[in-house]
């Protein structure tokens, strides 16, 4: 079954109290039509980010109720395609991002997207690498703004969450309540000035429910790696958290011995920064997929 959720249905908090915009069965194909992170409030280069109301920042389309998803399950989200609008927006200024202390005034750029490239300036065009900045399930308790990442996913701004990858998210409430948005046409690791090339678009995914697979943090499967993501107040905290939990994953899922698993993390795995501009910072640990296959392990 194919389902489309209009961008008219969007939330600014991930919450178990959000009313579902649609319902799906495991195996269904769902298209999420999304606004850009400014809710389309920036239309010209005279428009400034500071004038966009906070309640319009990072809208996520949804949520989607997935039948059969129960607390303790894992929601499997296969990202089939990401279609971009024909332009992207970047907005920077004082107080925003890592360079907010040196940028003295606000600037906005409207960047055309043509033939698979972002026309950044008259010298360079950047190949598009569409990714989803905000994608998550409802947290167990309370409301968490869509701009804040966590164990439920949401604003992780991981550039690997794109076409052909599969995201595994903990289910914390009945139906999971999946929502997503904040597409980037392209973004570098770190998202240094608090934005990638922000675009509206359409995200088509396949949803499924996985029973009996413990995912205490969001996990991602790409064509060549298994990834775990963690978000915390500091990079140190996020790095330590994802390292310890990925180490436990190696021991439990692959059956590796404690010390050998630690050595493998140091010898063959990569610890990388996703973003350092959101209320919580996000890092990821990457394991080459061929190593998991050498132990006979496959993600469900």
pTM value surpassing 0.85: yes
Domain span(s) for CATH 3.10.28.20 in the chain: 221-294
Domain span(s) for CATH 2.60.120.580 in the chain: 2-85+128-210
**Which residues, including other chains, have CB under 8 Å from residue 167's CB and lie 6 or more apart?**
76, 77, 79, 135, 153, 161, 218, 219, 220
Of 3.40.50.300, 3.40.80.10, 3.30.43.10, 3.10.28.20, the CATH number of 221-294 is 3.10.28.20
The DSSP secondary-structure symbol of 79 reads E
Written as tens digits, the pLDDT of the chain (300 aa) is 689 999 999 999 999 999 999 999 999 999 999 999 999 999 999 999 999 998 999 999 999 999 999 999 999 999 999 999 999 999 999 999 999 999 999 999 999 999 999 999 999 999 999 999 999 999 998 999 999 999 999 999 999 999 999 999 999 999 999 999 999 999 999 999 999 999 999 999 999 999 999 878 999 999 999 999 999 999 999 999 999 999 999 999 999 999 999 999 999 999 999 999 999 999 999 999 999 999 999 999
Of 3.40.50.20, 3.40.50.300, 2.60.120.580, 3.30.410.40, the CATH number of 2-85+128-210 is 2.60.120.580
């Amino acid at each position: 079954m194919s389902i489309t959720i209009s961008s008219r249905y969007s939330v600014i908090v991930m919450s178990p109290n959000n009313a579902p915009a649609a319902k799906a069965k495991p195996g269904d194909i769902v298209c999420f039509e999304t606004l850009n992170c400014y809710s389309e409030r920036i239309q010209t280069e005279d428009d400034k980010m500071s004038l966009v109301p906070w309640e319009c920042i990072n809208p996520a389309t949804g949520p989607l109720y997935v039948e059969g998803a129960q607390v303790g399950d894992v929601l499997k989200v296969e990202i089939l395609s990401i279609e971009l609008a024909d332009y992207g927006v970047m907005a920077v200024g004082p107080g925003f991002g890592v360079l907010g202390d040196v940028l003295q005034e606000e600037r906005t750029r409207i960047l055309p997207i043509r033939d698979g490239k972002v026309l950044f300036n008259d010298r360079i065009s950047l190949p598009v690498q569409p990714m989803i900045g905000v994608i998550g399930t409802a947290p167990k308790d309370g409301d968490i703004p869509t701009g804040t990442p966590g164990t439920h996913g949401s604003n992780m701004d991981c550039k690997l969450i794109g076409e052909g990858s599969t995201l595994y998210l903990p289910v914390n409430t009945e139906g999971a309540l999946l929502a997503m948005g904040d597409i980037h046409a392209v973004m570098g690791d770190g998202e240094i000035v608090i934005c990638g090339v922000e675009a509206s678009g359409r995200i088509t995914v396949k949803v499924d429910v996985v029973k009996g697979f413990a995912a205490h943090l969001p996990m991602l499967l790409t064509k060549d790696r298994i990834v775990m993501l963690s978000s915390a107040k500091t990079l140190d905290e996020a790095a330590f958290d994802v390292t310890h939990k990925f180490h436990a994953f190696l021991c439990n899922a692959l059956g590796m011995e404690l010390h050998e698993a630690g050595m493998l993390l140091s010898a063959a795995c990569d610890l990388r920064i996703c973003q350092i501009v959101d209320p919580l910072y996000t890092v990821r640990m990457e394991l080459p997929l061929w190593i998991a296959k050498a132990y006979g392990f496959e993600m469900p």
